Chain A
Amino acid sequence: MTKYTFTEKQDTRSGFGAGLLEVGRKNENVVALCADLIGSLKMGAFQKEFPERFYQVGIAEANMMGLAAGMTIGGKIPFTGTFANFSTGRVYDQIRQSIAYSEKNVKICASHAGLTLGEDGATHQILEDLGLMKMLPNMVVINPCDYNQTKAATIAIADHHGPVYLRFGRPKMPIFTPEDQKFEIGKAINFVEGSDVSIFATGHMLWYAIEAEAILNEKGISAEVINVHTVKPLDEEAILRSVAKTGCVVTAEEHQINGGLGDSIAQTLARNNPAPIEYIGVNDSFGESGKPLELLDKYGLSTENIVKAAEKAISRK
């Protein structure tokens, strides 16, 4: 049975806000930029405590990315904040040239990613951001699973020299990882040990993977659940170690199947140890308005979908 329970729900973006404040206190080189979404990104506490290190840039994300690149020259560590859609697709060329190719120490912090943004609908529900960002050389891509992990990741990325994409979301989700965790970039975490199927999940999907594990356990299936919070660089060793044991895979992400975490894991397996793989993600479509759980259900990302995918993967062994 799963050892994971929760007593409190909180949004991962609030984990970012708390982490930003803490890392701002620890490191005076940390500066923050926001494109007219201080409340949504939970950047208000940092702004209040460090007004001289906070830059309101207005609704001008392209400029924000260039400013951040420039601010690194002279030793600052800029954290940019806006929605995931406007942090990636809208400013892809700015990130590509001024940040990634130029090897600038910018932390691109992106909220409201994926379907669970909910009612705002497909214009804002970016499902392509992980793929866009993982394709960029020099870019680290992180998608933590809950409030505590998002806070820890926010603090940790300040110590990594180079561009980072940190993705989080809007809805309140269970808090089920430790408050005092140390976040290691590129190191997947084995949440539940198992032997029949490996479930690799990232971001909000971790909680649903854990729920699915409990259901599978009742059915007599032993699922291993691994938190792949860092999509790039991928912890290939952890993936191959688990699949050597279980022999089949389910990947779960709040993202397009094309170009996401599942693609990266499939590539790793194809090169090293081919195994049956089932993908939980959005299958080449845009989202729509609705409540987060309704959307996950409609687009095939629910707990029940993960259970079925695990059973199918096992049947293909």
Chain B
Amino acid sequence: MIDQTEVAELKKTASQVRRDIVRMVHAVQSGHPGASLGCTEFFVALYFKLLETGATFNPDGINEDLFFLSNGHISPVWYSVLARKGYFDVAELATFRKINSRLQGHPATEEGLPGIRVASGSLGQGLSVSIGAAQTKKLNNDGHLVYALTGDGELQEGQVWEAIMYAAHNKVDNLIVTVDHNGQQIDGPVDNILSLSDLKAKWQAFGWQVIESDGNDLEGIIEALTKAKSLTGNGKPVVNLMATQMGYGVDFMVGTHKWHGIAPNDEQLQSALDQLEETLGDY
């Protein structure tokens, strides 16, 4: 059982992260709030509960867990969680997508933002990168894990399936991939654009261990990632098919692709903030 006091604390963090997301996107009238909100519980669970990292950011990540974000457009949630975790000052969230910022529209390494190890945003590449990093961990006899997050629409990219095949063939079993299965992409529902059909059967057929989770249930996602962790080290990679709702936490954004890459106006921002308690202090 997970300690309920801790769960309550993590839920407070999640509420603040959601405030950060809508405020960041509103301030610059640009960015991707939908899937950022949908993945908030995942990021909070990962960074505040699961991920074993050193006290300071080390780009080489030796003897610590690594995380790679393949669907880089959900940078607002990642930046907020990194800042709230102490990787950089929360005040820097105000620079998101602005000129001379380390918080680029999509995550990048060039400006040296702590927490980022590879650029992402052009979809389909992050899984390959995370597998490579996992194989280096094996060569280095580093027993820590590599986590990655990918979108579901992103699975339409062919490179992802090259990577899925490769990881199973090469027994990359120190890797936990999570799919943000929100069923939406820019042009509409994934099922209408290019259906993924039975994702579970597909990953299983490719030789992965598959678990399923509810990504907007904080306790559920902690349990799922803990279970995923227990499945590592036995010769097969692990995938967590995580059902989420785009825009979760803000009633008028939830469950639609329409807020994929749209910023709220002043009234909409206020309405969103009214639904999200300020728990850790706005940046």
A: residues with CB less than 8 A from B are 31, 52-53, 55, 57-58, 60, 62-76, 78, 93-94, 96-98, 101-104
Contacts and interface: CB of A to CB of B under 8 A. Distances in A.
B208 to A, nearest CB: 15
User: Which of A52, A53, A71, A97 has most chain B Cβ within 10 Å?
Assistant: A97
Contacts of B127: 66
A104 B271 CA distance: 43
A69 B118 contact: yes
A96 B135 CA distance: 22
19 contacts: A57-B166, A60-B166, A62-B124, A63-B166, A66-B125, A67-B132, A67-B166, A68-B132, A73-B117, A73-B118, A74-B61, A74-B136, A74-B140, A94-B128, A98-B119, A98-B128, A101-B119, A102-B118, A103-B109
Interface residues of B, number: 40
Contacts of B169: 58
A94 B169 CA distance: 22
Contact of B139 (A52, A67, A102): A52
Interface of B: 59-62, 66, 68, 108-110, 117-122, 124-137, 139-140, 142, 158-159, 162-163, 165-166, 169-170
Given A60-B165, A102-B119, A70 B130 contact: yes
Given A52-B139, A75-B136, A103-B109, A97 B125 contact: yes
Contacts of A71: 132-133, 135-136
B225 to A, nearest CB: 21
A208 to B, nearest CB: 39
B128 A65 contact: yes
Contacts of B128: 62-67, 69-70, 94, 98
A57 B132 CA distance: 11
Contacts of A55: 135, 170
Contact of A94 (B117, B137, B159): B159
Contacts of B137: 74
A63 B66 contact: no
Nearest 5 A-B pairs (CB), nearest first?
A66-B128, A70-B132, A63-B162, A60-B162, A67-B132
Given A70-B118, A94-B128, 9 more contacts: A70-B68, A73-B132, A76-B136, A78-B132, A96-B122, A98-B118, A101-B109, A101-B110, A102-B117
Contacts of A53: 139
Contacts of B126: 66
A75 B134 CA distance: 12
B117 A74 contact: no
B139 to A, nearest CB: 7
A31 B130 CA distance: 16
Contacts of B109: 101-103
Given A62-B128, A98-B125, A104-B118, A74 B158 contact: no
Contact of B131 (A67, A75, A78, A104): A67
A174 B134 CA distance: 42
A31 B61 contact: no
Contacts of B129: 66-67, 69-70, 73, 98
Contacts of A93: 122, 125
B59 to A, nearest CB: 7
Given A74-B61, A103-B109, A66 B139 contact: no
A36 B207 CA distance: 21
Given A74-B136, A98-B129, A63 B60 contact: no
B166 A74 contact: no
Contacts of A68: 132
Contacts of B117: 73, 102
A93 B136 CA distance: 23
A55 B131 CA distance: 12
A317 B106 CA distance: 51
Contact of A70 (B108, B133, B159): B133
A96 B120 CA distance: 11
B117 to A, nearest CB: 6
B136 A70 contact: yes
B165 to A, nearest CB: 7
A58 B166 contact: yes
